[in-house]
């Protein structure tokens, strides 16, 4: 029985340490997913947020290390101007019309300061929309996967 007690104590110690590490890790890196409209309604300045939108064509502008651009939420027709101040290079997929995911904080002037940007084409292996007219299979009833 003593063996099992000792064993149990060790297990509890290990799990406890890991749980503590996990909790602090979550606290340190948690990021809220928000839409542009949610950010406009309650701009929690200083909270770490991840916001997604389409890059408005022609708005990408570089000034030294900083990159300015505007993202757009189609459904509500809202825009958010973003300034990217991170040091990593912008991904290749980041360009006009791309879906961009900005990670950062709202500023008190209503702009968004991003420390990292991820950009994606709408589907993992497919070209971005607007590149080529979507060819929708006509012999199928399921929603097109290519749009």
Partner 1 sequence: METSGAFAILLALCLAAYSFLASLTGAIKKKPFLIESGRRAVYGIFILLTAAAGILVYSLLTSDFRLAYVAARSNRAMPAVYKFAAWWGGQEGSLLLWSWLLSVYSAIVVWTNRKKHREMMPYVVAVLMFTQVFFCTLNAFVEPPFQVLAVGKGVTAVADGNGLNPLLQYWLMAIHPPALYLGYVGFIVPFAFAFASLVTKQPGDAWIQTTRRWSLITWGFQSMGVMLGQGWAYAVLGWGGYWGWDPVENASLLPWITATAFLHSVMMQEKKGMMKVWNMVLISSTYFLCIFGTFLTRSGVVSSVHAFAQSSLGTWFLAFLTIEVAVTTFMILKRLDYLKSEVRLESVLSRESSFLFNNLILLASCFAVLWGTMFPVITEAVLGEKITVGAPFFNKVNVPIGLFLLLLTGVGPLIAWRRSSLESLKRAFRWPVAVMFLTIAALAAFGIHHLYALISLGLCAFVTVTVVMEFFKGARAIAAKSQMNFGRAVVELTHRNTRRYGGYMVHMGIVIMFAGYTGAAFNLDTTKEVKIGDRFEIGRYQLHVKQVTDGDTPNYSWQRALVGVYRNGEYLGDMSPERRVYSATQQPTSEVSIRRRLHEDLYLNFASMSQTDADKAIIQAYVFPLVSWIWVGFYVLMFGTLVCLVPSKVKYSYARTEVVGVYAKQAEAAK
- Footprint on this chain of partner 1 (rule: CB under 8 A): 3-4, 6-7, 10-11, 14-15, 17-18, 21-22, 24-26, 28-33, 50, 62-63, 87-93, 95, 99, 101, 118, 120-128, 131-132, 135, 137-140, 142, 145-146
> Among residues 83 and 118, whose Cβ is nearest to partner 1?
118
List residues bridging with 83 in a β-sheet.
68, 113
What minimum distance in Å lies between the beta carbon of 97 and partner 1?
Answer: 11
What minimum distance in Å lies between the beta carbon of 95 and partner 1?
Answer: 8
> Among residues 109 and 142, whose Cβ is nearest to partner 1?
142
C-beta separation of 93 from 121 below 8 A: yes
> Among residues 24 and 110, whose Cβ is nearest to partner 1?
24
What minimum distance in Å lies between the beta carbon of 109 and partner 1?
Answer: 24
- Contacts made by residues 37-42, CB under 8 angstroms, sequence distance 24+: 37/73, 37/76, 37/78, 39/80, 39/106, 39/112, 40/78, 40/80
Owner of token pair 């709408």: 122
In this structure, what token pair is assigned to residue 125? 């292996």
Conformational region of residue 141, where left means phi above 0, alpha means psi within -120 to 50, and beta covers everything else: alpha
> Among residues 31 and 37, whose Cβ is nearest to partner 1?
31
């Amino acid at each position: 029985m003593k063996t099992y007690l000792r064993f149990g104590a060790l297990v509890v110690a290990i799990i406890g340490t890991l749980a503590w590490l996990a909790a602090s890790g979550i606290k340190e890196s948690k990021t809220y997913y928000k839409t542009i409209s949610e950010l406009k309604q309650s701009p929690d300045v200083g909270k770490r947020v991840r916001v997604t939108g389409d890059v408005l064509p022609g708005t990408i502008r570089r000034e030294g290390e900083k990159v300015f651009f505007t993202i757009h939420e189609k459904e509500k027709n809202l825009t958010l101007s973003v300034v990217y101040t991170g040091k990593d290079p912008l991904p290749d997929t980041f360009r006009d019309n791309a879906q961009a995911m900005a990670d950062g904080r709202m500023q008190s002037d209503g702009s968004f300061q991003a420390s990292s940007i991820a950009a994606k084409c709408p589907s993992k292996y497919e070209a971005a929309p607007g590149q080529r007219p979507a060819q929708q299979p006509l012999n199928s009833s399921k929603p097109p996967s290519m749009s």
